[in-house]
Amino acid sequence: MGQKPQRPSYLAVTNVGTGKTTQWSVPARAAIDNVSLTADGSVLCYSLQENPTMVGVIPTSAAPGSAAARGRTVVRAAQFGPSVWIAFAAISPDGHAVYFATYPEPPTAPWVGQVRVVDLATGKSRVVHAPAGQPGLITADPSVRHLLLQVQAKGTNSVKLAGLDLATGHVTYLPSGWLASLGDVITW
């Protein structure tokens, strides 16, 4: 008996006022990692875990169909090295920038994970923060002005929680005891 072909996965938005839902397909082999919207809900940002990982944007007014055909890719992990992957992405409320994190696979010594931002008009990216230690889970506040980072100190199991101001790049470590283990989920 042959295997059934894999069905595609979908990204979707629902207008809560009208109840209308629009969906776009992504390859079945790709796992949707993060999604976020601009403040006015006009642009959806998403990251896919496929080989290689990537971040895309799609206007929420786009017709149903393939996300690749209706939107655009803003960064591919391969731009930053042959074995780099992206594990976080969030669009700014005004839709001008996307923040994302890159990691080497397999992890290298010293660890070189980075939080980056890409300007959607120019396509240019820059490093916002390179943690002193292994970067872990990341989440953005609703205004995408700050990130909450889980950082594991190099060579230890010690995990710290840090706030990153995206405008200044300033990092503030939170008092110990905020995080039980590297596997915890973090959110605002």
Which range has the top average pLDDT, 7-11, 122-126, 129-133?
A: 122-126
Cα dihedral sign for 141, 143, 146, 151?
Answer: positive
CA dihedral of 23, 26, 30, 33, whole degrees rounded to 10: -40
4-47 pLDDT, tens digit each: 666 778 999 998 899 999 999 998 888 888 899 999 999 999 99
Sole residue written with tokens 């409320």: 93
Cα dihedral sign for 185, 8, 36, 122?
Answer: positive
The more confident residue out of 4 and 64 is 64
Sole residue written with tokens 């976080």: 88
What value does the mean pLDDT take over residues 142-165?
Answer: 77
- The reported pTM is 0.83
Tell me the CATH number for domain 9-14+29-173. Answer: 2.120.10.30
The CB-side HSE value for 145 (13 A sphere, CA atoms) comes to: 2
65-117 pLDDT, tens digit each: 999 999 999 999 989 888 888 888 999 999 999 999 888 776 555 556 788 89
The domain spans of the chain are 9-14+29-173
Of 18-27, 42-51, 125-134, 172-181, the least confident = 172-181
The more confident residue out of 178 and 145 is 145
Q: Is 155 left (phi over 0), alpha (psi -120 to 50) or beta?
A: left
Q: What is the per-residue burial (b if ≥16 Cβ within 10 Å, else e) of 151-160?
A: bbeeeeeebb
